[in-house]
Structure formats: structure tokens, C-alpha cells
Chains A and B, each alone.
Chain A
Amino acid sequence: MKRILLLALLLVLSAPAFADSPKPVAAYVAPKPIERGLKNQMRVLVIEDHRLPMVHYRYMIRAGASDEPADKAGLANFLLEVMRQGTEKRDAKTLSSEIDAIGGQVSTSATRDFMTITGQFLSRDWRKGLDLMADVIQSPAFRGEEIERTRGRILAGLQGSRDQNGPLATEHVNALIYGTHPYARPVNGDAGSVSAIEKADLTSFYETYFAPNLSLLVVVGDVDVNTVVGDVEAQFRDWAPHTPPSRPGPPLPVFDSNRIRILDKPDVTQTELRIGFEGVKRDTPDYYALAVMNYILGGGGFSSRILDAVRSKGGLSYDASTAFDFGRDKGAFVLSTFTKNETVGTTVDLALATLKKFQDEGPTAKEVEDAKRFLVGALPLGMQTAQGLASQWSAIDFYNLGSDYFEKYRGRIEAVTVEDVRRVARERLREDKLAIVAVSSAGEVKGQLEKYGPIEVLDYRSPTGAIPQSKPTASLPAETLTPGAAAQAKTVIDRALKAHGGAARIKAVKDVSTRATIAISTPNGSVEGDLMTSVRIPDKSRIEMSMLGQRGVQVLNGDKGWATSGGQVTDLTAEQAQAMRAGLKVQLLPLLARLASGKAQVGYAGSDVVSGDSVDVVLVVDPDASSRAAFSRKTGLLVRLEQEEPAMFGEGKVQMARLYSDYRTVNGLMVPFKIERYARGQLLIADKVSAYEIDKGGPDTPYLRPNR
């Protein structure tokens, strides 16, 4: 049944007056779309707006990052980016050229709950724009080259995102609030999960979730509804519906205490702060009362209690706000602010006191009236743009809020009472069991936050811990390690030294050489080779590798190093020498020797399970190479060593883990004959040791640079 499009704007224009009390807010009617359903269950909403010669297309799929497998976090975003890089009939360059030639803008966005592809064009190009959109949506090309280019961009972007302290803080507070729920994961994933995504993952996610019955297309602009819908029907006619799997929604965690995380970043003089706890779903009947409540508490800018306390009265920050992060599942409530390091404690105190006072006393009647006036009166502001309209209508559709949403909106807001706001404040705000995140210089702020509860300090580049295979990395400088943790670590280390052959014997070791067969995993299968390593403690090491008929040698000799490959001798760069020095320090026996000397700074970092074995994890702090050593509870032997190393393939640093097994005795020492090296959770290299020699002796010749 055809509905009449309502684009009536009822404005009550009165003569200028200067009353001091606000006049009743003028009635405004939001533009409402015409709705059409296609035979394949795809839905189309069209709003005709002829004020400007432009058209906006917003295409939405009812699936998002929460539907990804946990270890492939970032898949939805990756998929959308690849889709933007070409279709079956238009490669990446052609697609971009055609979009740009008409001044069009096409972009994609993945959120936790849904994915969108939007396009904006001059209205004279509406048909071409729709053709481009339909092609991108229905015929992604998944060319291997574009997948790798995209991966490179996403990984670089992930690395760069750590330069923005605000979003970083938000990511970590989400991880703390949501626990194992999909909302804990950053939508863009992390370096580990994105590196693990393969073409098959992308095509599978596409085939599962891109279907007409999960699709909504909103069109806003200078178009004719019948013509546009006719074209949409033609463009999407061949697409068949199918039903995707349902998404599990695990519960949010229940905290039993406050949880505080500091992301330690050097040179920070102003700390980003986030305080959060469990929130509500978008379709909660309390939405309107919560909207009013949040405006008063922290969403209403200078009308809000939080900004008033923290900025206007306290002078502590330039900005402070609160927000409910509603989702299809329960979202979160987060208070955000920043302040110079010296006033972090004061600011957190003040923010929490403001929340508590609000919870205890509730709002004033004036606050509630003012909030309602804003929420009703400001509605047209968000409707000025096609994008704003499209976005709101697609949200209404996604959360099933009803096509009469705007018609009912004003009445529902106006019906909110002081008591309603008081009730939701009591039910929804908490003063305990908070998640608190600070991006800061840990040494300066840790003391200020200790009164709120146990604190975890992570390097700011650390993963959030929300993605299964990516563990957060601590970067505790010695002063922040508690005496208790150091003592506990020492107990574990003492037992390990004994298990490996005794501290005295370990400290006496001068030389270690091994010979091993290695197997390197590549996308095309496993490649075998020979590896000979030797180490002369404290500062010489030599690695000689033969593989695929090639032989290469790399040597560290004191401060400097050299390498040969194909007959050529080159000097190592400072960075390469540094990397070898770091690598030497975490060879098994040099590491144990360092632990035996008692000079290493250590801390107990909890228990874990490695290959079915219970282990104790010890953090070993070192300016060149901090690491986490896991010792078996059963045998006391080192079974895993984790640290950040320069990437072997590609650039940047990578979280590496070495697993040790097949322990045998050599010269009275227990050493591993099998070493598996993992990067980002994937097995990279497996070493099978065939010869292990300790203190063989000999001249320094192997370490000296040949003259060439």
C-alpha cells in the first residue's frame, strides 16, 4: 500500500519577543521515508528531498563485528575495506576512477552490530552512483593482491591508532567492561588477529552475512522515489536470500571489585581517563528517561553536572562527558575526560562524587525540564544532512523502534518525570565495581589511583586482552613491581634453576652451540633448513642458516655485528645489532644465568596453562628485551618464553613466543631439544635440535668479521 510521503515542515513563527522564560518549542515534523520491500526481502527506504542536487545512499547489513569468530577480530572491517577495493568487473583503480570522476564519495564502516556502505553523489549522477554501489555490494572481487594491500593498510592504521590516547583509553575500558562478550573486542581487531585473516575467512563472512534479507538501503535526496526503487529492484534482482547463523550473546562479566588499568606511555603530561560499567540495550523502555538522565549528568555540555564540576568549577579539564553506548546487546555507560597528570586523582574523585550525588539526590525539576526542551527542540538540527537522516532511519530500522518513532518521540520525552530519572539513576549508575582506564605516565599516576583498587599496568602498545590469542604485555619498570611479586617470582626462579641443573653450574657456562633442523611455515607450506647457533656469553653470538641452497651467517661481536649472504659481507645496522643483543639475552642458558645472578628485575605475573601444563609466569624486565617466562609447576623447567621482537618478515615488532620441550641432560644441565617459535599465535618455526654442546671452547674466529 502506497503511503504518502510527508515532508511538511510546520514552523510556528512568532513575532520577536524578549521573554526571559523559554517559549514552548516550535513543532517540527521529521521527514519520513517511503518504505518498499523487494521480492528478495531486501528493504528500501526513500526520503525525497529536493533542496539540494545531491543523493545519499546508505546500505546496511544486519551483522557486524560481534558476529566474527573471536580470533578473527577485525574481519568485518577488513571485508568492507576489501570490498571497496574492487569488484569483478572493476578493479581497484577503475572503481576509484569512476567514483572520483563524478565527484562521488563511497565509504564503508563496520560497527559492532552492523556494517554499512555509504555513497554520496550529485543527483544528476544518481543512477551511476547506484550502479557503483550495487556492484560493490554484490560482486566483491577478493583479489589476493588487494587483500594484502588492505592488510598492510589496516596493520599500519592499527599501529598508528595507538598515537591517539582517547580512542586507546576507550578500547581498553571496553575490554574491561565487556569481558568475553564480543563487544569487548576492538572493531578493527589487533595486529595478531588481522594478520591471521585469510581470503577464505573474508569470502565466508561475506557469503554468510551479505544477503538481501539482511539488507536495508536508505536513499535520501533529490530523486524520484518510484524511479529509484525501480532501479534498485533491477540492480538487486538476482540476489537470493539466505539465513545466517544466530549470534550467541554471552553475558557481561560481573565485577567483584573495581578494575583499574594504566596504559603506560612516555612523555604524557595529560592523562586520558575512562570510567565505565554495564549499560543497557538500545530497545530498553527506559531509553527516554535515560536520555534525559544522561543529558543532565554528562551529555548536555555546559548544562551537565559533570562538565560543570570538572571544567567550569574545577578548572581540571577542557572536556568531560558521559554517554550510554547502546547496542543490540547491553552496552556500557562511560564517563570520559582528561586532565594533567597531577590532577588525575582529584578528577576521578570529583567525577565519582558527582555521580554519587546524582544517584542519591536525583535531578531537580528544572534540570529535567531543560533537558526535555533540548532533546525535543534540537531534533531538526540532526536532520539537516542527508547522511544524518539516513543514519537515524537505519538505526530505527535496525533496532526495530517503529516507523512512527519520530511521531512518538516528542510525547515520550515529554512524559519523562523527575521520578523516572531518579529511578533510572538509582538502577543504572554504580559507584562500585567500576572499570577505570588511564593512558598516562604510570609512575606519576599509579599512586593517585591505588585507593580505587588493584591496578594493572600495561605498555600502551599492548593488546587489550579481549582477543583470545593476544595477551596484554606488561611493561612494569622495577619501581612499580611490588616487593611481594618480586619475592614470589624468586621462589619460582629458584626452583627452575635447580630443575635446570643448579645455579652454580648455570652461571659457569661460557659457550653454547646447537645444531638443528628447522621447519619454517609459509603460506605455501613448510620449508626445511639447517640452523647452527653459537653463543659466547656475554656478548657474542653467531647464527648460520642454510635453506633452499642458500647459506647466510649473522654474527654479533660485542657492540657491532656483520652478516654474509651470497658471498657478500655487510655490517649490521645499529638496530640489527641491537636485535641480536636482545636475542642473545633470551637464549635459554644466558637467560637462566641472568636470573641466577639475581641482578634481573623480576615480578610474578600469575599462572597460566601451556600445552596442558600448569605454569607460573615470571616477568623479567630488561631495557632491551623484557620477557615473560613460564615455568612448569610439575617439573620447574622453562616451557615458554614470550617477548616482543623485530619482525622476521615485514616491519615493526611482533609478539613472539618460544615453546620448549623434549628436555635432555647435557653436561649436567637440562636443555630443550625441541623449540617451537610462534608469532602472533601462529607457529612460524620449529627447531629439532640434533646436537647441543656446552663449553666446547675454541678461539673467537667464528665471531670475527672476514676481510672482504
Chain B
Amino acid sequence: MFARHPRAAGIVLLLLLVPAPAARAQDGAAAAPSSSGAASVAALVTPQEGRLKNGLRVLSLVDPRAAVSTFQVWYDTGSRNERPGITGISHLFEHMMFKGTKKVAPEEHARLIQNVGGINNAATTWDVTYYWQALPPDQLPLAARLEADRMANLTLSEANLASEREVIKEERRFRVDNQPIGRAVELLTAIAYQSSPYHWPTAGWMNDLDAITLDDARDYYAIHYAPDKAVVVIAGPTSHEANMKLVEKEFGGLKPGKPAPRVARGEQAQHGPRDATIEGEVQLPILLGGYKVPPDSSADAPVMDVIANLLSTGQSSRLYRKLVYEDQSALFAAGLAVPRKDVGLFYAFCAAKPGRDRDSLETTFFNEFERLGSEPIAPEELARVQSQLEAQFVFGLEQVQDRATIVANAALIDGDAHAAARRLERWRAVTAEDVQRVARTYLVPQNRCRVWLVPAPRRAS
């Protein structure tokens, strides 16, 4: 995921030197009967829905006790909607959207939001590009006005393109080229996906970033930045009726965009493990792995969540206990399920302690994933994971902007705006047999890719 401004950017796969939580931010459902306020917890991510004539969808999360509101616009386009030659254009666009319209000067959007006591940011992923602000509830009209204006009237000029091109190249240098782990993740993703549009990085290849033209940008804007390709999400104390009225007022006059080109679905079959190595200036060797898994809308996705937590949440998790605590061969180790619209990738990563034998670490590491296919997990372990998922779900609802993100992801990635509210039940329904079945199907060597990031040999001075 690439963000407009690093300070408020979300947790990114590339920031792998801090152990990442394995649970997914988007998930939630009705709470257990013994929790206090069970109904209100589920309600926090159960949206009310509306739609304008031009196709714009509106999702409202109403919480009368919130002191803050969020106004978000999610565009149903990401790096998977690109093609070789213009990779990185979705991310470039995320930046271009801040360069102004006739009514708003370049970079003024953020200043206007901050001036009313708000914060804002944007992010691009493989599947979506979204723009959000968190601000006092009485300032929603400002947010709506600004978002509608740039959806329809963005100034696309050579000067703006030139300056943002340099900025995103710097961002690519920051996240990928100067972070060996960024390069390693990029390579892993590229070898895992051959035919899928997930093959190329959201950052774009550097030579494509240099090649994108103003015409490319105009075409992209005309298709993807349109009400029929977007979802507005508002969370806070305002009512759905008030939200609909506001959105209709600002966005009602916009026209649908050009039809979006078809995006290739699926990924061709993998017939055996794929291995690669990258050398970099690193102190700790890093092992990255990836297993291809179904889209997040699949019935098996909650099972992958259970597996990810079983493996890496908390110090009693499988990977921590075995590799970090007992063997002391890794500094950290985790599995991470990243929600995707199409074929997903279950990421595995591990930082090796210096001087340890890498082959045996690799064997032990992947064995923890793959033995789940043959060894059933104990009831206490399953219960632990389900408690952890429930707790993380609750903890993830504190901020209105996070609730909105959870619901938007459900709507766009899973195709069901109510999927978030149902997730907790679906986790509870996962059995030990499900874990074994899903592991046996996907967590197998034939379906595995791996990249070792190792220290480059020192050059003589």
C-alpha cells in the first residue's frame, strides 16, 4: 500500500522490521453473548446504504457518541487496473488528486482540512485507491465539497505531472530501492504472480514512472475517477439521511465515467516451489515466503485469518514459540493474510539472527505452516486464536476512520458491505478440521514462493 504522506500511512507490508499484527483490520461481527454492548459493537460496522442516480454508493456508519467524523471516498481502482507501460499510474494519481482544481490551489486540500482541525491522507493498493479525512462532524460539508470537486474537476497539467512524478519516484526510492526488504517483497510478489495484474508493484516500475504521459493520466481519470466507480463512506454522529442529503448536494451533478476496461482475473497454476535470492546491505537476513490463497470474499478467508493468528499473534503463537523462543534462530517470524479482490497471497516472513544456519531455519519455518495440513490443532489453541481475533476486532474499532475503512474494504474487496459485521461469527465457526483442510490445500510446497534477502559480500575499499 502506498500513501500520500508517510506520517499517517497505514501499516504496510514493507515495514516488516516491526512485527505486524496478523489480524485484518477490516473484519468484525456480532460480539459474543457475554460481551457487554454486543449489539452496539456489530452496529459500529453495519452500514446503512444509499446510491445516487449516477451510480455513487454511500455507506453510513452512525455512532451518536462519536466526537469525530470521517469522510472517505474509495475508488474501485488500483494497480491491478494498470498495464505494463503505465504501472504506478494509480499511485501517481493519488498524488495528482492533491494538485488542485480551478477552485482549490495545489496542496491546498490538506491545508483546508487542517484549518478546521482535521487530518487527511490517501492510499493506493493493488485493488483500490482511497482518500480520507477525520475531522469535526460539523465540517463534513467542507470535505464533501472538496472531494466532489476533485472527482470531477482535477487540474491535469504537465507541471503538476512533472512535480508529482519526482515525488513518487522519491517515495519509491524510500520504500523500495533503499529498503532492501522492499525490494525483496517486490520480487516475491512478482514471482508469485506471473499472469495476474498483481504481478507488478503498486509503486510501479521506475521506468514506467518516467514514461507516463499526460494523455495516459487523462484517460485514467476519465474512466476511474467517476461516481459510478466510487463509494463514499461517512462514519460519525451524523445520520444517514443527513449524509445522503449532503452527498446528493455535492456529487449529484456528476456524470458516470467511461467504461472501465476488463481486468484479467486469476493466476495461472504453479507447479512447484519457486525460490529466489536478493543481496542487499542488511545486517539480518530475511526470509520471505508466499502461498497463493483464494480472494478475501472466499468462504475460506476466515480460516486463513485463524491460521495467520495461530502462527504469529502473541508470544504463545507457533512461530514465536518455536523460532524466536525455543530455537532462538529468528528475531521475529510471522504469517500475514492480506485481503485481496482476486487470488491472494499469504505472506510469511522471518528475520534470521546473524550466524544461524539459513537452510535449517527455512525448513523449520515453512514446516510450521505446512504441518497444519496434517496435524490437527488442539481445542485450546483454536479457542485462544478466536479470543485474539475477537479482541483485535474490538480494539480495531476505536477510531471512526478505521471503522469506515473496514466497511469500505468489505464493500469493495469482498463485494459485500455487511461482510465486516459477519466476520466475527465466521471466525467462531472455524473448526480444527477447516484449518487442516485449508492448510492442506494451500500451504504446500508446490504452491510456495520464497525470497531470501541476504547480506551482500563487502566490496573491498
Binding site for B on A (CB under 8 A): 9, 11-14, 16-18, 22-23, 25-26, 28, 50-54, 92-93, 96-97, 99-105, 120-124, 149, 152-153, 156-157, 159-165, 222, 265-270, 300-303, 308, 311-312, 315-319, 321, 338-340, 370, 373-374, 376-381, 383-386, 461, 475, 477-478, 621, 623, 650-652
Is residue B218 within 8 Å, beta carbon to beta carbon, of the partner chain? no
A22 touches B116 (CB 8 A): yes
A14 touches B282 (CB 8 A): no
With a cutoff of 8 Å between Cβ atoms, the chain B residues found around residue A319 in the complex are: 5-7, 174
**Complex A-B, nearest 6 residue pairs according to Cβ-Cβ distance, in ascending order:** A377-B117, A651-B355, A103-B391, A623-B460, A96-B315, A100-B314
A101 touches B387 (CB 8 A): yes
Give B379 Cβ to nearest chain A Cβ, in Å.
Answer: 12
A315 touches B174 (CB 8 A): no
A621 touches B145 (CB 8 A): no
CB within 8 Å for A380 and B177 given contacts A16-B246, A265-B281: no
With a cutoff of 8 Å between Cβ atoms, the chain B residues found around residue A461 in the complex are: 283
* 7 new A-B contacts at CB < 8 Å, known A26-B136, A53-B35: A52-B41, A101-B387, A104-B391, A149-B325, A162-B283, A163-B283, A377-B117
Question: How many angstroms between the C-alpha atoms of A161 and B354 in the bound complex?
Answer: 13
- Contact among A124, A163, A267 with B456 in the assembled complex (CB-CB below 8 Å): A267
CB within 8 Å for A270 and B170 given contacts A53-B41, A100-B313: yes
B170 touches A93 (CB 8 A): no
CB within 8 Å for A266 and B353 given contacts A339-B170, A477-B461: no
Question: How many angstroms between the C-alpha atoms of A340 and B167 in the bound complex?
Answer: 11
A11 touches B387 (CB 8 A): no
Give B141 Cβ to nearest chain A Cβ, in Å.
Answer: 4
A266 touches B459 (CB 8 A): yes
A267 touches B325 (CB 8 A): no
CB within 8 Å for A11 and B237 given contacts A269-B177, A302-B111, A384-B398: yes
Question: How many angstroms between the C-alpha atoms of A156 and B6 in the bound complex?
Answer: 27
Residues 378-396 of B at the A interface (beta carbon under 8 Å): 380, 383-384, 387-392, 394-395
Residues 109-142 of B at the A interface (beta carbon under 8 Å): 110-111, 114-119, 134-141
What residue in chain A is nearest B399 (Cβ atoms)? A384
With a cutoff of 8 Å between Cβ atoms, the chain A residues found around residue B136 in the complex are: 25-26, 28, 377, 380
B35 touches A124 (CB 8 A): yes
What residue in chain B is nearest A166 (Cβ atoms)? B174
- Contact among B106, B141, B400, B456 with A384 in the assembled complex (CB-CB below 8 Å): B400
With a cutoff of 8 Å between Cβ atoms, the chain A residues found around residue B313 in the complex are: 100
B116 touches A373 (CB 8 A): yes
CB within 8 Å for A26 and B110 given contacts A9-B67, A100-B316: no
Question: How many angstroms between the C-alpha atoms of A373 and B237 in the bound complex?
Answer: 22
Number of A-B contacts (CB under 8 A): 250
With a cutoff of 8 Å between Cβ atoms, the chain B residues found around residue A477 in the complex are: 461
What residue in chain B is nearest A384 (Cβ atoms)? B399
Chain B 357-392 interface 0/1 with A at a Cβ cutoff of 8 Å (1 = within) = 000000000000000000000001001100111111
Is residue B97 within 8 Å, beta carbon to beta carbon, of the partner chain? no
Is residue B34 within 8 Å, beta carbon to beta carbon, of the partner chain? yes
- Contact among B166, B178, B325, B355 with A92 in the assembled complex (CB-CB below 8 Å): B325
Is residue B324 within 8 Å, beta carbon to beta carbon, of the partner chain? yes
Is residue B53 within 8 Å, beta carbon to beta carbon, of the partner chain? no
Residues 293-347 of B at the A interface (beta carbon under 8 Å): 313-317, 321, 324-325, 328, 331
A103 touches B328 (CB 8 A): no
Give B333 Cβ to nearest chain A Cβ, in Å.
Answer: 12
Is residue B284 within 8 Å, beta carbon to beta carbon, of the partner chain? yes
B354 touches A52 (CB 8 A): no
Residues 192-244 of B at the A interface (beta carbon under 8 Å): 237, 242
CB within 8 Å for A11 and B331 given contacts A96-B314, A100-B314, A380-B68: no
A380 touches B460 (CB 8 A): no
A28 touches B67 (CB 8 A): yes
What residue in chain B is nearest A646 (Cβ atoms)? B355
What residue in chain B is nearest A92 (Cβ atoms)? B325
CB within 8 Å for A478 and B35 given contacts A12-B138, A149-B325, A377-B116: no
Is residue B351 within 8 Å, beta carbon to beta carbon, of the partner chain? yes
- Contact among B38, B65, B117 with A51 in the assembled complex (CB-CB below 8 Å): B65
B137 touches A376 (CB 8 A): no
- Contact among A14, A156, A162 with B138 in the assembled complex (CB-CB below 8 Å): A14
A652 touches B354 (CB 8 A): yes
Question: How many angstroms between the C-alpha atoms of A374 and B136 in the bound complex?
Answer: 11
With a cutoff of 8 Å between Cβ atoms, the chain A residues found around residue B391 in the complex are: 54, 102-105, 120-122
CB within 8 Å for A266 and B118 given contacts A18-B141, A160-B351: no
With a cutoff of 8 Å between Cβ atoms, the chain B residues found around residue A315 in the complex are: 163, 166-167, 170
Give A5 Cβ to nearest chain B Cβ, in Å.
Answer: 15
With a cutoff of 8 Å between Cβ atoms, the chain B residues found around residue A652 in the complex are: 354-355
A23 touches B177 (CB 8 A): no
With a cutoff of 8 Å between Cβ atoms, the chain B residues found around residue A22 in the complex are: 115-116
- Contact among A157, A162, A165 with B331 in the assembled complex (CB-CB below 8 Å): A157
What are 22 A-B contacts with C-beta separation under 8 Å? A16-B249, A22-B115, A22-B116, A26-B138, A52-B41, A93-B325, A100-B316, A101-B316, A122-B390, A124-B36, A159-B284, A266-B281, A266-B459, A301-B110, A318-B6, A319-B174, A374-B114, A377-B116, A384-B398, A385-B399, A475-B461, A651-B354
Question: How many angstroms between the C-alpha atoms of A28 and B139 in the bound complex?
Answer: 14
A160 touches B283 (CB 8 A): yes
CB within 8 Å for A101 and B116 given contacts A222-B36, A623-B460, A651-B353: no
Question: How many angstroms between the C-alpha atoms of A103 and B31 in the bound complex?
Answer: 14
With a cutoff of 8 Å between Cβ atoms, the chain B residues found around residue A165 in the complex are: 178
With a cutoff of 8 Å between Cβ atoms, the chain A residues found around residue B180 in the complex are: 163
CB within 8 Å for A54 and B394 given contacts A99-B314, A377-B117, A651-B353: yes
Is residue B433 within 8 Å, beta carbon to beta carbon, of the partner chain? no
Residues 162-181 of B at the A interface (beta carbon under 8 Å): 163, 166-167, 170-171, 173-174, 177-178, 180-181
CB within 8 Å for A52 and B173 given contacts A22-B115, A477-B461: no
Question: How many angstroms between the C-alpha atoms of A549 and B461 in the bound complex?
Answer: 43
Is residue B421 within 8 Å, beta carbon to beta carbon, of the partner chain? no
With a cutoff of 8 Å between Cβ atoms, the chain A residues found around residue B12 in the complex are: none
Is residue B397 within 8 Å, beta carbon to beta carbon, of the partner chain? yes
- Contact among A52, A265, A270 with B397 in the assembled complex (CB-CB below 8 Å): A52
Question: How many angstroms between the C-alpha atoms of A381 and B141 in the bound complex?
Answer: 18
Is residue B11 within 8 Å, beta carbon to beta carbon, of the partner chain? no
With a cutoff of 8 Å between Cβ atoms, the chain A residues found around residue B281 in the complex are: 163, 265-268
Give A459 Cβ to nearest chain B Cβ, in Å.
Answer: 10
Question: How many angstroms between the C-alpha atoms of A312 and B117 in the bound complex?
Answer: 22
Give B191 Cβ to nearest chain A Cβ, in Å.
Answer: 22
With a cutoff of 8 Å between Cβ atoms, the chain A residues found around residue B181 in the complex are: 163
Question: How many angstroms between the C-alpha atoms of A384 and B134 in the bound complex?
Answer: 11
CB within 8 Å for A122 and B356 given contacts A53-B36, A53-B41, A100-B314: no
Question: How many angstroms between the C-alpha atoms of A268 and B180 in the bound complex?
Answer: 10
With a cutoff of 8 Å between Cβ atoms, the chain B residues found around residue A385 in the complex are: 398-399
Question: How many angstroms between the C-alpha atoms of A652 and B145 in the bound complex?
Answer: 58
CB within 8 Å for A53 and B31 given contacts A99-B314, A315-B163: yes
Question: How many angstroms between the C-alpha atoms of A319 and B34 in the bound complex?
Answer: 47
Question: How many angstroms between the C-alpha atoms of A339 and B170 in the bound complex?
Answer: 7
B387 touches A152 (CB 8 A): no
Is residue B272 within 8 Å, beta carbon to beta carbon, of the partner chain? no
Give A348 Cβ to nearest chain B Cβ, in Å.
Answer: 16
Question: How many angstroms between the C-alpha atoms of A18 and B324 in the bound complex?
Answer: 56
B167 touches A311 (CB 8 A): yes
B114 touches A303 (CB 8 A): yes
A101 touches B284 (CB 8 A): no
B117 touches A378 (CB 8 A): yes
Give B270 Cβ to nearest chain A Cβ, in Å.
Answer: 30
With a cutoff of 8 Å between Cβ atoms, the chain B residues found around residue A17 in the complex are: 141
With a cutoff of 8 Å between Cβ atoms, the chain B residues found around residue A99 in the complex are: 314-316
B324 touches A381 (CB 8 A): no
A270 touches B284 (CB 8 A): no
Question: How many angstroms between the C-alpha atoms of A103 and B314 in the bound complex?
Answer: 9
With a cutoff of 8 Å between Cβ atoms, the chain B residues found around residue A97 in the complex are: 316, 384
Question: How many angstroms between the C-alpha atoms of A103 and B38 in the bound complex?
Answer: 17
